[in-house]
Amino acid sequence: MLPMFRRLTGLVTSVAAASLLVLPMAASAASAADMSSSAARLAHSPESIAVALRCRAWMSNSHPKDYSTIYVRVRTVRYANVRTVAYYRTVTRTRYGRANRYGRAAIRYRISRATPGFRVNVRVNVGSGSRRGSCSTFFVPRA
C-alpha cells in the first residue's frame, strides 16, 4: 500500500510542478511572444554559435640551459593567430606567430640570464575569426 501511495504522490507532484511552469506563461501571450523572440535572437547570435578553439601547448625543452633557444610548440586550427606570454621572475615577454596549414606553430624564445629554478609559466592565446582559445605550458631554466 505504501509504494502505491508514493507513486501517486510523485505523479501529483510532477503534474503540479508542470502546471506551475505552464500557467504563468499562458497568462500573458505578449510576454510569451517576447520570450520566444529573445530566445530566437539568442539562439542565432554569434556568441552562442562561437565555439572555443582547441589549443595544446608544450615546450621543446622544459629544462633549458642558459643562453639556449627553446620553442613553444602549439597545436590549434589551421592559420590561427598565436600569442604567447612568458612570465619570468622579473620580466614578461610576449611573442606572436601564426599556425601553418596543419595547425602547428613554433614560437621561439631565447633564454638568457633567466633565474635558474624559477618556473616560467607561458600563456598561449589562439584566435581565428571571432573564435578564441587558450592553453598554457611552462619551463624551468637551469644554470
pLDDT tens-digit series, residues 32-44: 445 445 455 555 5
Site of grid cell 595544446: 56
Q: Which pLDDT score is estimated for 14?
A: 46
pLDDT tens-digit series, residues 80-107: 999 999 999 999 999 999 999 999 999 9
Q: Which pLDDT score is estimated for 135?
A: 98
Residue 13 pLDDT greater than 90, yes or no = no
Tell me the residue type at 97: G
Q: For 8-20, what is the mean pLDDT?
A: 46
Instruction: Say what the pTM is.
Output: 0.66
Calpha distance 32→15 (Å, rounded): 21
In the chain, % of residues over pLDDT 90: 64
